[in-house]
Structure formats: structure tokens, C-alpha cells
């Protein structure tokens, strides 16, 4: 790829701002190492400004105003090519309720679910269940409910972030994630927290979680997990890349939880781990994402407004 003037959008307004800052810094460093002219743009809202001459934008914003399609709509309006999913597929993937409905329609295996609001005084299905705000990432506001006594507390926590909330039948099994690059599933990563489940603290506190890649799965399970991940990616109309979270139950059956359209992109993040296992170094992964995005949206001789 020829040297380009690339703007990396980082920060943002969501609960995942700190993670975004780390992703943005890592991506910017990778592109500079490849000889690109990189500007890191700290985003505080929709009035962010791009430098004159910007040829492409790498979106490193997680959560609200990153993965929900809004920043993508703004960039399309400005005529600037950007990385990853478009506005519509971003919005579908970001909204876990919309995702679940798309999974069911496409026959993607996903746990049974229900929709609840403040008036719901008991779990809609027998515990154990997981209570989630539909439009948050990084396990923000997520609570596991193993008996009805914790229901109101869990519902209240999720309602702090969204209304209505998603309630999902809990699947016990191995926690996995699958990167999708282009139209190919990368090696499966197994996530093994030392305690509890893969919540915000276990995700972002060093030493609290072990990662195994490629995941040591039973015969045939890797292929089933990758097929389910690709089916989920396609069911939402996702473009370029994503990371799909999957649980593998005791019968080695995969259950798709969600699709992340802007997964973490530091040297130690899960998508880069999977790419590395495939023989794709971090900088090459960043450039591959940019190249696939430019192929989709066209290279840019247009300048930012």
C-alpha cells in the first residue's frame, strides 16, 4: 500500500473511552511504522475535525458513537473512506436485540432471550440468566442472575444504561471468540478468566485472564464455531472485519452471543492474537483492514471537509 494520510479516531463518548484511547494509540503507531502519515484525532462528540488532506479514517472508537453507525454516517456525509462496517450493519450489530432477531431469522445458534423493562418484576425465564443493556460493550452493565433474589438488582444495573434490556438464557461452557477478516474466520481464541466470567475487570486487568489460541477444542468443534461466527457476521451484513463471541456448551455445540464491529486493537487484544496465529503481524493486520475498507468504499482522492 502506498503511503497515505490516515486519521485515527479515538476516545469518544462511551463507557469504553479508555479502551478506545489504547486501541487508537496502538493502531496509529503501527501505521507510522509502515511509513504512513498519521494524525490521531481525539473525539469528544460529532463535531470532530479531520486534518486537511486526510485520505482515509481508521475508526478506533468503541461503543456509543463508534460502533452504533453514527460516526460512519458522518464520515459518509463528508465523503471520507473509513474502516470497517457501514452505518446499517454497525447499528444492527451494536443493538443486541436487533442482532438476536437477525441471528434467529438466519438460523444462527444463539441462546433463548426475552426483552424486559422496569415493570418486569420477575425473570422472564427460569434462572440462571444473563441481564444485559442491549447497546453497550465490554460487558458494561451485565449481570449473571442465578436465582430470583438478585433479579431486581440486575435489572436495575442494566437499566442504568438502556431501556428495555435483554435477558438471555445462560449457557454454561467455554468462552470463545472468533475474528472475521474479509470473509474468512481466523483461529479461535479461548478466554479463561482465573475467577468469575469475562467481565470488564477480567478483560482489562493484566493477569486476570488466560488466552489460548488456537483454542484446544474437540475434533470438529473448531469448524463448527468458525461456521457459526461467519454465519453471524453475514446475518448482520457486516463488512471488512469483526469479532464474534461464542460459547461452546458441554456437547461441543456453539452458541453465538454477539458481534463486535470495532474490537480492541492493541498488540494484546483478541483479534490481533488470532491474526498472529494465522501469521498476520499487528501492523499488517491494521493495513489489511484499511485495504479491505478502501476496496469496499474506493480509494480517496477526495479531501476531508
Tell me whether residue 235 is one of the annotated catalytic residues.
Answer: no
Which of 138, 242, 269, 293 does the annotation list as catalytic?
138
Tell me whether residue 138 is one of the annotated catalytic residues.
Answer: yes
Which of 258, 269, 293, 300 does the annotation list as catalytic?
258
Which of 76, 101, 200, 204 does the annotation list as catalytic?
204
Grid cell 465490554 is found at: 138
**Whether 36 contacts 3, CB under 8 Å:** yes
Tell me whether residue 119 is one of the annotated catalytic residues.
Answer: no
Which of 99, 157, 264, 300 does the annotation list as catalytic?
264
184-193 and 143-145 strand pairing: unpaired
Measured torsion, CA atoms of residues 179, 249, 16, 76, in degrees rounded to the nearest 10: 40
Which of 162, 190, 245, 287 does the annotation list as catalytic?
245
Segment holding 257, helix H or strand E: strand 254-260
Tell me whether residue 195 is one of the annotated catalytic residues.
Answer: no
Q: Give yes or no for a cis peptide into 164 (omega within 30° of 0).
A: yes
Which of 20, 89, 242, 260 does the annotation list as catalytic?
260
Tell me whether residue 16 is one of the annotated catalytic residues.
Answer: yes
**Whether 225 contacts 216, CB under 8 Å:** no
Three-state DSSP state, 100: helix
Which of 5, 17, 243, 297 does the annotation list as catalytic?
243
Three-state DSSP state, 37: strand
Which of 11, 14, 16, 67 does the annotation list as catalytic?
16
**What is the rounded distance in angstroms from the CA atom of residue 110 to the CA atom of residue 122?**
22
* Helices within the chain (DSSP H only): 17-33, 70-78, 87-94, 96-106, 151-159, 200-204, 221-235, 270-277, 282-297
**Whether 9 contacts 59, CB under 8 Å:** yes
Cα 181 to chain centroid distance, Å, stands at: 13
Tell me whether residue 202 is one of the annotated catalytic residues.
Answer: no
In our burial notation (b when 16+ CB lie closer than 10 A, e otherwise), range 212-241 reads ebebebeeebbebbbebbbbbbebbebbbb
Tell me whether residue 267 is one of the annotated catalytic residues.
Answer: no
Tell me whether residue 264 is one of the annotated catalytic residues.
Answer: yes
Which residues are catalytic, by number?
16, 138, 204, 243, 245, 258, 260, 264
Amino acid at each position: 500500500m502506498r503511503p497515505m494520510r490516515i486519521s485515527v479516531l479515538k476516545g469518544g463518548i462511551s463507557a469504553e473511552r479508555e479502551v478506545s484511547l489504547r486501541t487508537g494509540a496502538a493502531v496509529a503507531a503501527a501505521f507510522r511504522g509502515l511509513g504512513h502519515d498519521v494524525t490521531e484525532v481525539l473525539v469528544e462528540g460529532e463535531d470532530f475535525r479531520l486534518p486537511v488532506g486526510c485520505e482515509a479514517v481508521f475508526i478506533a472508537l468503541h461503543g456509543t458513537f463508534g460502533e452504533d453507525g453514527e460516526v460512519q454516517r458522518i464520515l459518509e456525509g463528508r465523503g471520507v473512506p473509513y474502516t470497517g462496517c457501514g452505518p446499517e450493519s454497525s447499528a444492527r450489530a451494536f443493538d443486541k436485540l436487533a442482532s438476536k432477531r437477525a441471528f434467529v431469522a438466519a438460523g444462527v445458534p444463539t441462546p433463548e432471550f426475552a426483552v424486559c423493562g422496569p415493570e418486569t418484576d420477575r425473570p422472564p425465564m427460569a434462572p440462571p440468566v444473563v441481564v444485559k443493556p442491549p447497546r453497550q460493550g465490554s460487558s458494561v452493565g451485565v449481570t449473571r442472575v442465578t436465582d430470583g433474589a438478585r433479579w431486581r438488582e440486575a435489572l436495575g444495573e442494566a437499566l442504568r444504561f438502556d431501556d428495555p434490556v435483554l435477558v438471555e438464557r445462560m449457557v454454561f461452557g467455554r468462552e470463545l471468540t472468533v475474528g472475521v477478516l474479509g470473509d474468512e474466520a481466523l483461529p479461535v481464541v479461548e478466554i479463561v478468566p482465573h475467577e468469575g466470567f469475562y467481565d470488564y475487570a477480567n478483560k482489562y486487568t493484566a493477569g486476570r485472564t488466560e488466552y489460548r489460541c488456537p483454542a484446544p477444542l474437540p475434533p470438529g468443534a473448531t469448524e463448527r464455531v468458525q461456521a457459526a461466527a461467519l454465519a453471524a457476521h453475514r446475518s448482520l451484513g457486516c463488512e471488512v472485519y469483526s469479532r464474534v463471541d461464542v460459547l461452546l456448551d458441554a456437547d461441543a455445540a456453539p452458541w453465538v452471543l454477539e458481534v463486535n464491529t470495532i474490537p480492541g486493537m492493541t498488540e494484546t487484544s483478541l483479534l490481533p492474537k488470532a491474526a498472529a496465529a494465522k501469521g498476520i503481524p499487528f501492523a499488517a493486520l491494521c493495513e489489511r483492514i484499511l485495504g479491505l475498507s478502501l476496496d469496499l468504499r474506493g480509494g480517496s482522492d477526495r479531501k476531508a471537509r
